[in-house]
Amino acid sequence: MIEMHALRRAMQQLGPRNGLRALILLAFAVLVTNYYLSRKPSSIFMGMYRLSENPQESNLLTNMHALVFMITGMALPLEQLSEYLAIPNPLVYIRQDRGIRHFASYLALLALYCLVFTGIQACISFVVIPDLVPGQLLSTAICAGLTLFCMLLMVNCSYLLANRAAGYIVALVIYASLLSFWPAARWFSTAHAGPLPLWLPSLLALTVALIAANAVACDHPRIA
């Protein structure tokens, strides 16, 4: 019941700014169309980083579509989910404290957003790529979606600490640095921790750390 109430309130808050959101989606749709019309489509998810065939070339240029995926995913909410977390109840006379349930509702909404944003594009890949390998697409889509979740947590932490720009800059610099440094990107994408790809335990550990940081920032926010 509480989760449904949180979802209804979040959907009400997403109503404004839809014009700007539509422009972001339009620009992203053009880039996605370009991606699928090029020779790049493969079983690797569009938002997943790739390794350049030549280590001497910039790996960042090879991953421009993955970078655009992350930028769009970070920009599309227009911070309204962060606003939902920062101001639990918009009614002046029924103001509730920021509690565990409210924070858990925010995390659930954020995870749902990443799932939908990533899932829609994964479904498109299943439709338009004829020789697709389902297991590889699913694995790389999970990596991209979990990476986006982490980046949004970075942005939200900075939002709560009244330094919005820092969150976007830090998240993008970390991601772009990984893409740019070929040895690191190769190690991160090919190494395994037992039967699991190394990115999975690494991203899960980062997710837990960022959730903890967000919980602390939520308890001591610098915003009204």
Per-residue pLDDT of the chain (224 residues; tens, 9 = 90+): 445 555 555 555 555 667 788 888 999 999 888 888 876 678 889 988 887 776 666 777 778 889 999 999 999 988 888 888 887 554 444 444 567 888 898 999 999 999 999 999 999 988 888 888 888 899 999 999 999 999 999 999 999 888 888 889 999 999 988 888 777 777 777 766 667 788 888 899 999 999 999 998 887 766 54
Question: What does residue 82 show for φ and ψ, rounded to 5 degrees?
Answer: -65, -35
Taking Cα atoms as reference points, which of 157, 171, 186, 12 lies closest to residue 85? 157
CB-CB contact of 48 with 127 (8 Å) = no
The answer to whether the pTM exceeds 0.75 is: yes
- The first and second tokens of residue 179, run together, are 């893409």
For residue 8, the model assigns a pLDDT of 56
Residue 17 region, left (φ>0) first, then alpha (ψ -120 to 50), else beta?
Answer: left
User: How many C-beta neighbours within 10 Å does residue 56 have?
Assistant: 6
What phi, psi does 192 have (nearest 5°)?
-130, 145
pLDDT of residue 130: 82
| pLDDT score recorded for residue 94 | 44
Q: How many residues does the chain have?
A: 224
Give me the pLDDT at residue 148, please.
96
* 121: amino acid identity, one letter: Q
